[in-house]
């Protein structure tokens, strides 16, 4: 069962299965009548490119596990970014399984902090430090990857493989409203 890492973004969506890497780039166009139409078109382009990539590299995969970088809600001041990312995440959760030959068994969201901490020991390692850490840990460099989209997708894949194999203890964040609150006693 392939584990696919995805670093979601409309500007450069990274995808990796650990051996094959892809960055899907989309841009707004003057012909888009409005923001919703632009986002819908761009989301379709990204999902179709990922489906094509999957059908080339994993044509007979019956089941697929996606490890996706979770949205960074700390950047809430960038409301348009969160709006766009919501559309893209919806595509990963509900649309992509129709476009690939197998079934998506599960989608796991991993915070960038957890991913960085696993890869480097620090949850706030800058991207340049991530490049060095990945080279030291896995012996791989990514050419022509200025946004580190391939690098983060690769790390999500490797992290997911470790979790699925039981080598990494990880519990994905619970959905909003599902966390149990601890009572504070004084």
Residue 16 clears pLDDT 90, i.e. is over it: yes
Segment 86-136, tens digit of pLDDT: 777 777 766 666 656 666 677 888 999 999 999 999 989 998 889 999 999
175: exposed, middle or buried (Cβ count in 10 Å: 0-12, 13-18, 19+) = exposed
Q: CA-CA distance, 169 to 185, in Å (whole number)?
A: 30
3 state SS of 185 = coil
User: What is the tens place of the pLDDT at every residue in 40-55?
Assistant: 888 889 989 998 998 8
Rounded distance, CA 119 to CA 134, Å? 7
Structural tokens at position 150 = 């391939």
What is the model's pLDDT at position 184? 41
Rounded Cα distance, 17 and 22, in Å = 9
A 10 A CB-CB count for 142 gives 20
Residues sharing a CB contact under 8 Å with residue 166, sequence separation 6 or more, in sequence order: none
**pLDDT, the chain, mean:** 83
Question: What is the tens place of the pLDDT at every residue in 126-162?
Answer: 988 899 999 999 999 998 898 999 999 999 999 999 9
Tell me the pLDDT band of 183, cut-offs 50, 70 and 90: very low
Any idea which residue has 């989301």 for tokens?
43
- Give mean pLDDT, residues 165-175: 82
- Tell the CATH topology of 3-164: Nucleotidyltransferase; domain 5 (3.30.420)
Domain ranges of the chain: 3-164
């Amino acid at each position: 069962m392939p584990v696919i890492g995805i670093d979601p973004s409309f500007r450069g969506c990274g995808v990796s299965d650990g051996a094959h890497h892809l960055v899907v780039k989309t841009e707004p166009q003057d012909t888009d009548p409005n923001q919703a139409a632009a986002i819908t078109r761009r989301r379709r382009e990204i999902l179709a490119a990922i489906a094509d990539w999957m059908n080339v590299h994993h044509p007979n995969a019956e089941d697929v596990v996606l490890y996706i970088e979770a949205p960074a809600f700390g950047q809430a001041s960038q409301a348009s970014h969160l709006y766009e990312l919501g559309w893209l995440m919806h595509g990963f959760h509900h649309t992509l399984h129709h476009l690939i030959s197998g079934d998506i068994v599960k989608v796991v969201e991993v915070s960038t902090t957890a991913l960085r901490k696993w890869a480097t020991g620090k949850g706030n390692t800058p991207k340049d430090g991530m490049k060095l850490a990945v080279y030291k840990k896995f012996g791989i460099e990514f050419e022509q990857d200025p946004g580190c989209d391939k690098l983060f997708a690769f790390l999500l894949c490797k992290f997911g493989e470790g979790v699925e194999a039981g080598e990494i203890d990880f519990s994905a964040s619970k959905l909003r409203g599902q966390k149990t609150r601890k009572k504070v006693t004084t």
